[in-house]
Chain A
Amino acid sequence: MAGRGMNLTLKIWRQAGPKAKGEFQTYKLGGVSPDMSFLEMLDVLNEQLIQHGEESVAFDHDCREGICGMCSLMINGQAHGPDKATTTCQLHMRRFRDGDTIVIEPWRATAFPVVRDLVVDRSAFDRIIGQGGFVSINTGNAQDANCLPVPKHNQEKAMEAAACIGCGACVAACKNASAMLFVSAKVSQLALLPQGEPEAARRVVKMVAQMDKEGFGGCTNTYECEAACPAEVPASNIARLNREYMKAVLLSDEMP
């Protein structure tokens, strides 16, 4: 399949550092194979830039198989590009046509400041998890795993939520830069399992408080998050998050 090269025009956000002023730069790139992944296409561009003595475009990536959640990019205004259930690293150039112009931007959200070019700081997500995205048990001496039966249906729902890769596409896609889908995924996973029950109220109240503190916006039910999510985490988790939150506020001692 290689050899059938496409010619592309790339408009890429370049920003030298967190405080620097950014702008779009336009690059022409030829000989793009349809079998390349989107990031391999950027690799080819970067090699060319280095040959011309220009610094390469910084972008986050690691596993390149759609699971680590490190890659990002707004591609023509869509988080992770046009394909459903696909991270940028799994997007392939066969999705584009010869002569296309592609606009590439970093995630845009107050809570995700730009580090450089297309790289942003998503540590806000870690701080939210640190407030309650866990079950408080210490290592060692857990009871036998099969002492705790979990209905298959609940386990599957929990797995559906636990599939979140923490990439931040939900925030980037949302007009309010809301992190509700991300937060609801972890709250739901643990709310659906008996292991998470004792801390359910405390967890949801603390995680939501941290989410607000980080500067994420509120949810207005447009479901762009669900459409953009590469792990297909359903927006119904947001409803569960709201229920858990109401339950905690009304029926427990946890204060928001």
Chain B
Amino acid sequence: MFRVAEQPLDGKVPSGDITQVWDKHKDNLKPISPNNKRKYEVIVVGTGLAGASAAASLAELGYSVKAFCFQDSPRRAHSIAAQGGINAAKNYPNDGDSVWRLFADTVKGGDWRAREGNVYRLAQMSANIIDQCVAQGVPFAREYGGLLSNRTFGGSLVSRTFYARGQTGQQLLLGAYSALMRQVGGGKVKMFPRREMLELIVVDGVARGIVCRDLTTGKIESYTAQAVVLATGGYGNVFYLSTNAKGCNVTAAWRCHRRGALFGNPCYTQIHPTCIPVSGDYQSKLTLMSESLRNDGRVWVPKNQSDTRSPDQIPDDERDYYLERRYPSYGNMVARDVASRAAKERCDAGFGVGSSKLAVYLDFKHAIERDGEAVIRAKYGNLFHMYEKITAENPYKVPMRIYPAVHYTMGGLWVDYNLQSSVPGLFVLGEANFSDHGANRLGASALMQGLADGYFVIPYTIADHFGKNASKLGKIGDDHPAVKEAVTAATQRINTLLNTHGTKSVDSFHRELGAIMWDKCGMARNDAGLRQAAGEIRQLRDRFWKEVRVLGSGELLNQNLEHAGRLADFLEFAELMVIDALHRAESCGGHFREEHATEDGEAKRDDNNFCYAAGWEFAGVGNEPVLHKEPLEFKNVPLQTRSYK
């Protein structure tokens, strides 16, 4: 099914005391003189937290930046939907937090499958991010004394999460967007909205530009530069139903993969424990209820399987608060993957609630009795409002019904310590890379990573590329053979989709793919199911290219055509994801293999055989991909069995 490369992959984390590594590394990176910076052009694809902060920061430094997004405005990127908060080791509450503790929590949260050097740097930068955002005018929640307020998130025993109502992602993104628009207004960034990246242009082995489609006119355009920064988010929509925005896709990342960028750990996906359950087969997406709700909500199911009473009629001693029972020290605040599997376990055992029996209760009764409705409303008002909109039930009166849903993807393009992919000149930031969360991401860490990458890492590391590869970065024109070849490839794919003239809609194929992935590569996976899934995906892909119906032309806004192109890439990517899940014969974090569990159903890692990051090399559609292993070393947070008990 795959081949293994002989040479190990090198993440290029400098050696030495981990607390000093980044500072020393910065000193060793080659700076570019201010006068020369404007000669260097950088393309940034994606304008979420990572992309917008990178584009703004690089333009502030003097680089010439072009930024691209597929939405109508850079402010729409899906970072905006993050609700709960952003972690930072500020220790403002004086509860014993530190950079080291945040680092150790994140390594543990990721089930010892992340790269220590990157995680430490992330923890170090967390405090600067809060400073930066406050200086921009991000209205974080405050106490009466005027200072910043904190709350607790899963997988942690300290209060280190900063928040802005239940709209933290929105406020952070609008902060980064405002920094970006300041540069656009000042002419330092040229912004290209409603553009979809369809190809990476590689010249002499170095990333030199992109091909994209103007979604309103259909025009295929090429742009060249001295570096390409990809910040295009995750691939959760391979499952069709997820908490991702409808437009989220793997296309930009997959196109880079096809041009030589290794794909890291594609099987690591995060299933978020608290989402609103599916209500019907027309369902187009799933809505998340912030993890912060677990601070005050208690998760339970009835002790009696056949209990049909309404939840408020079930007395406390007939409720099974299963997270508190199984994990007394973390209780409802266990890490996400653990909470999700525990909900699945109860539902599979027949204790689920609601008409589908695929839900558990998240109950605020005790919190409302303790703190009063006004306090709960102030903390979670917008989430309760959203829940009531979708379900027509009032969560102040009846418990929420929740079930896990696909939320985030820890896997992504493989990058080294400089966030450079295996294609020189191609940098990958935020959710689009694989670097910091290992096999499971802790809550309130995605915002932290996106902004750390964009504000504080790429501005330093990109200069090193310009310095080292200067001889290969001369100007290239639209008539360069590599540019023409990439434009032709993108154009041909579009024409093929438009000329297939099949009978089945793009959406119907996407739903079929989603069902395969959720059933066989979702919350629980096993050898036989994954092998079956690989075959089914290949068949579905063949059928797609014969039977898909894409109407209209390529010369106008054509949302069906956009969706078809994205799905075509998901159909190739899904197979790699299944192969990665199959090859990793252990359970770790969000990757749960049923054959590899402890007696009480917890994930069982195999550190002897799988303590590495998997970097997959593309070998052609349907051909065996090549596995490159990056050995992971845990010198600072020694390998342990993760426990939230």
Contact = CB atoms under 8 A, between A and B. Distances in A.
Contact of B148 (A50, A68, A146, A196): A146
Interface stretch (A59-67, A96-104, A237-245): A59-67
B551 interface: yes
Contact of A62 (B243, B245, B279, B281): B245
Interface string A64-78: 111111100000000
B30 interface: no
B167 interface: yes
A214 B392 CA distance: 40
Interface stretch (B52-60, B102-110, B482-490, B526-534): B52-60
Contacts of A11: none
B551 A50 contact: yes
A246 interface: no
B295 interface: no
B385 A85 contact: yes
Interface in B23-70: 53, 56-57, 60
A97 B390 CA distance: 17
Nearest to A3: B280
Nearest to B73: A126
B184 A150 contact: no
B634 interface: no
A130 B71 contact: no
Given A33-B282, A39-B284, A140-B456, A126 B181 contact: yes
Nearest to A87: B389
A92 interface: yes
Contact of A145 (B56, B90, B552): B90
B139 interface: yes
B101 interface: no
A110 interface: no
A136 B73 CA distance: 21
A68 B80 contact: yes
A137 B131 CA distance: 12
Nearest to A164: B174
Of the four ranges (under 10, 10 to 19, 20 to 34, 35 or more), the interface on chain B belongs to: 35 or more
Interface residues of A, number: 80
Nearest to A43: B284
Given A63-B245, A64-B285, A139-B132, A130 B185 contact: yes
**What is the interface of chain A mostly: helix, strand, loop, or mixed?**
loop
Contact of A155 (B139, B177, B280, B385): B139
B245 A68 contact: yes
A62 B551 contact: no
A134 B560 contact: no
Interface in B273-296: 279-285, 287-288
Contacts of A196: 137
B349 interface: no
Contact of B185 (A47, A131, A135): A131
Interface string A1-19: 1100000000000001100
B505 A152 contact: no
B81 interface: yes
Residue of A67, A121, A146, A165 ringed by the most chain B CB atoms within 10 A: A67
A227 to B, nearest CB: 17
Contacts of A248: none
Residue of A56, A92, A116 ringed by the most chain B CB atoms within 10 A: A56
Contact of B56 (A50, A83, A139, A158): A139
Contact of B181 (A69, A133, A163): A133
Given A40-B284, A44-B282, A133-B178, A70 B131 contact: no
Interface in A177-192: 189-190
B284 to A, nearest CB: 5
Interface in B69-102: 71-78, 80-81, 90, 92
B275 to A, nearest CB: 11
Interface in A114-160: 115-116, 119, 121-123, 125-127, 129-140, 142-146, 148-152, 155, 158-159
A189 to B, nearest CB: 7
A94 interface: yes
B182 A152 contact: no
B282 A137 contact: no
Given A55-B552, A135-B135, A150-B146, A67 B60 contact: no
B247 interface: yes
Nearest to B149: A152
A219 B443 CA distance: 43
A65 B81 contact: yes
B242 to A, nearest CB: 11
B280 A130 contact: no
Given A35-B279, A37-B284, A190 B73 contact: no
A92 B281 CA distance: 15
B182 A134 contact: yes
Contact of A189 (B137, B148, B386): B137
Contacts of B174: 162
Interface in B173-187: 174, 177-179, 181-182, 184-185
Given A69-B73, A123-B72, A136-B182, 9 more contacts: A2-B281, A37-B284, A50-B505, A62-B247, A65-B81, A133-B178, A134-B182, A135-B136, A189-B137
Interface of A: 1-2, 16-17, 33, 35-37, 39-40, 43-44, 47, 50-51, 53-56, 58, 60-70, 83, 85-86, 90, 92, 94, 115-116, 119, 121-123, 125-127, 129-140, 142-146, 148-152, 155, 158-159, 162-163, 165-166, 189-190, 193, 195-196
30 contacts: A2-B279, A17-B556, A33-B280, A36-B282, A39-B284, A43-B282, A43-B284, A47-B507, A55-B560, A63-B78, A63-B81, A64-B245, A64-B285, A66-B389, A69-B76, A121-B216, A123-B72, A123-B73, A133-B178, A134-B136, A134-B182, A145-B133, A148-B134, A149-B147, A155-B140, A155-B146, A162-B174, A163-B170, A193-B137, A195-B135
Interface of B: 53, 56-57, 60, 71-78, 80-81, 90, 92, 128, 130-137, 139-148, 164-165, 167, 169-171, 174, 177-179, 181-182, 184-185, 191, 193, 216, 243, 245-247, 279-285, 287-288, 355, 385-386, 389-390, 392, 455-456, 459, 505, 507-508, 549, 551-552, 556-557, 559-560
Top 7 A-B pairs ranked by shortest CB distance? Answer: A149-B146, A130-B185, A134-B178, A142-B135, A145-B134, A142-B131, A2-B280
